[in-house]
Structure 1
Amino acid sequence: MERKVTIQDIATMAGVSKSSVSRYLNNGYISEDKAKKIKSAIERTGFETNFFAKRLKTKKSGLIGIVIPRIDSVTVGKFLNGINRKLRENDYQGMILISELDIEKELDNINSLNQQGVDGIIINSMSITKKHLEITSKLNIPTIFTGQKSEFINYIKLDDYKAGRIMGEYFKAKGHKEIVFLGINEFDKAVGIERKSGFIDAVKENNPGSRVQFVETDFTFTSAYLKGDEILKYKPTAIVCATDNICLGILRYLHERNIKVPDEISVAGFGGYEIGGVSYPAITTIAFDYELIGIKTAQGILDLIEGKELEENNDIALELIERESVKEIVDKGGIG
């Protein structure tokens, strides 16, 4: 049986990269010289792939662009698993570009995916800026954001304010009044503002004498660890961290100084990471179903491609998981 010509064969014949051939097939941007060489190679071989034939027939590539801020994250992995499952069920494939926590690169990635002819773009954004709105408003393909929200875009996200309130109500019920919230910069509105605000509002509501101090870190274990000295100056009975990963840094800091958790200081976080359940002590947390977020986001972009509206109810369940890292304060005047 004669061997079928592949995209790599075309790339070799034309003296271009495989990605250049893919962009040509997707009506993406390549130089005029490369386009001529690729076209000539295709004509000489009679090349046609199922993918190319499908595009000619349906005017769709079967590709969804996915922009993520980083790959070294438990939550991103679960999020991508959910997206991949839903796309595979619908005969779509994802093309992932990583922004490396650089907002300009994130914007470039959106433009790049559009040029490569994807049918829609999922953007797990660090922030939604005016440039995001300008770029996406000019695209002739649908986009959907996750992680952040704006009234001017399509989005699916967690209710970070609600998550913060759940944790705040929990600590208020446990009798804690001197609390440090170890969070991130407000550039990330979801985690940096909404999650923190929900927590503070719940703690202070009908709770005279309560104080929540804010200490800024980033998402890394190391940065959280290095904030330990600053946190202890406030003499807190509890440290609430914006993520479970931040919690792990603080747990290490406290352990090295023989400060017992939760007997002397309680610690809690957000995320529901598996590692938080096997750390010692196990971390009390608000668990998020990141895989479900991925599934709902993928379904959202597929609906938009088909001209449907997003579902109005995209609530993602939030679950308080109470473990070993929080203690109730019996003596309201100090550490229990």
Structure 2
Amino acid sequence: MVTINDIAKLAGVAKSTVSRYLNGGSVSRKTKETLDRIIAETDYVPNTFAQSLKIKKSNLVGTIIPRLNSYATNEILGSVDRALKEKNYQLLITNTDQDVDREVENLYALSRQKVAGIILLATVVTKAHREAISKIGIPVILLGQRSDATYAIVHDELDAGYHIGKHAVELGHKEVLYVGVTETDEAVGRLRKKGVLDGLSLSDDVHVEEVVVDFNYDKAFQFLKDYLKGSKATYIICATDNIAIAAYKASVSLGKSVPEDVSVSGFGGYSITDLISPSITTVKYAYKEMGKIAVENLLRIIEGEEIPRRITLGCEFLPKESTIARK
């Protein structure tokens, strides 16, 4: 195994110079280029935990995610990882499979690993979450959900929902099916739906059916392929793009044409919505921006700076081929 002493000898510099370089300190441009090359050639991997103990400051940041098979989560994680790497921090990832108890357990587990801070993509924020955040004494930033317990970065769910509801009204649809998720999820289950209903309320003669499904594509599809047999909806508004794809497939399996027989839209702005034909109308969320801002603000908190308790990110309405005017 290559050590820091080996790197110092190969570069012809002192061990302290290599240590300063690894911790983001100031070294000459020539020395930096030399060390960049040698570390690349030797595949040297710094002992991050040992470094943290030595300087009494952890450069580990924990991230708690709800599930692995999520476009939004992957977009955020990629952005978080890049931003942390630029600041010489290392990312630790824990997955909860949407288990609320595991979210709380992971808050405590990451604190025991002496992380400098935690980025939490929470499904809900319970009393147990608030107690854990208070007890661990480590900076925590929530992404996607809001709480008075700590800092949060959220999407403008009301505005996003309003765009879609208004779109359905402007296209002349009278029978609308809203396929949502449980309201225990405040952001997606409650606020996003409220925005949709606010948009639909622009017309007095729109009839809205509401059903609740799972975030999981397969479960949503299995439910909808049966439910849609008796639905009169000409527009299906889905709480996420994954659910929208499930509604699209279920409609087609029943012999319906999208968008001629039924319009379909979702939320998220997933890249796969452009790969499906017809492409799916959606609202694009700033996932990459969210990850970048989360890192910037978390590091500012760690350094003792003041930051806003809540930041709300805008969204972009993307009308595509899956929705048309009702004749």
- Which TM-score band (shorter chain)? 0.7 to 0.9
Flag the 1:122–1:50 CA change in 2: closer, same or farther, 3 A: closer
* 2:226 equivalent to 1:229: yes
* 2:208 equivalent to 1:212: yes
Out of 75, 78, 82, the position equivalent to 2:75 is: 78
Q: Distance in 2 between matches of 1:4 and 1:181?
A: 59
Shift of 1:50: 6.9
Shift of 1:296: 1.1
Shift of 1:282: 0.7
Alignment check: 8 A CA contact 1:287 1:318 kept: yes
Shift of 1:211: 1.9
Out of 91, 102, 113, the position equivalent to 2:99 is: 102
**In the TM superposition, what whole-angstrom CA distance separates every residue of 1:181-217 from its partner, at most 9, and x where no partner exists?**
1111112111111111110112113x11212211111
* 2:211 equivalent to 1:246: no
| Secondary structure at the counterpart of residue 157 of structure 1 | strand
Count of equivalent residues: 286
Aligned to 1:69: 66
Aligned to 2:286: 289
Task: Write out aligned runs for 1:53-202 (5 A).
Answer: 53-57=51-55, 59-202=56-199
Flag the 1:138–1:181 CA change in 2: closer, same or farther, 3 A: same
Aligned to 1:333: none
| Secondary structure at the counterpart of residue 320 of structure 1 | strand
Alignment check: 8 A CA contact 1:204 1:211 kept: no
Alignment check: 8 A CA contact 1:180 1:231 kept: no
**In the TM superposition, what whole-angstrom CA distance separates every residue of 1:109-160 from its partner, at most 9, and x where no partner exists?**
1100000100111110010000000110112211111121012321111111
Give the TM-score normalised by structure 1. Answer: 0.80
Q: Distance in 2 between matches of 1:236 and 1:50?
A: 56
Q: Distance in 1 between matches of 2:220 and 2:163?
A: 23
Shift of 1:53: 4.4
Runs (4 or more) in structure 1 with deviation over 4 Å come to 48-51
| Secondary structure at the counterpart of residue 262 of structure 1 | coil
Flag the 1:3–1:215 CA change in 2: closer, same or farther, 3 A: closer
Q: Distance in 2 between matches of 1:74 and 1:103?
A: 20
Q: Is 84-93 or 303-312 further displaced after alignment?
A: 303-312
Aligned to 1:52: 50
Shift of 1:170: 1.3
Aligned to 2:37: none
Shift of 1:307: 1.3
Shift of 1:49: 5.3
Shift of 1:55: 3.4
Alignment check: 8 A CA contact 2:273 2:279 kept: yes
Shift of 1:284: 0.5
Shift of 1:223: 2.0
Q: Is 121-130 or 154-163 further displaced after alignment?
A: 154-163
Q: Which runs of 5+ in 1 are unaligned?
A: 7-47, 330-335
Alignment check: 8 A CA contact 1:79 1:291 kept: yes
Q: Distance in 2 between matches of 1:210 and 1:325?
A: 20
Out of 286, 295, 299, the position equivalent to 2:296 is: 299
Shift of 1:261: 0.9
Aligned to 2:27: none
Q: Distance in 1 between matches of 2:109 and 2:210?
A: 38
Flag the 1:261–1:49 CA change in 2: closer, same or farther, 3 A: closer
Flag the 1:88–1:235 CA change in 2: closer, same or farther, 3 A: same
Shift of 1:246: 0.8
Q: Distance in 1 between matches of 2:85 and 2:3?
A: 24
Shift of 1:311: 4.1
Flag the 1:230–1:213 CA change in 2: closer, same or farther, 3 A: same
| Secondary structure at the counterpart of residue 62 of structure 2 | strand
Give the TM-score normalised by structure 2. Answer: 0.83
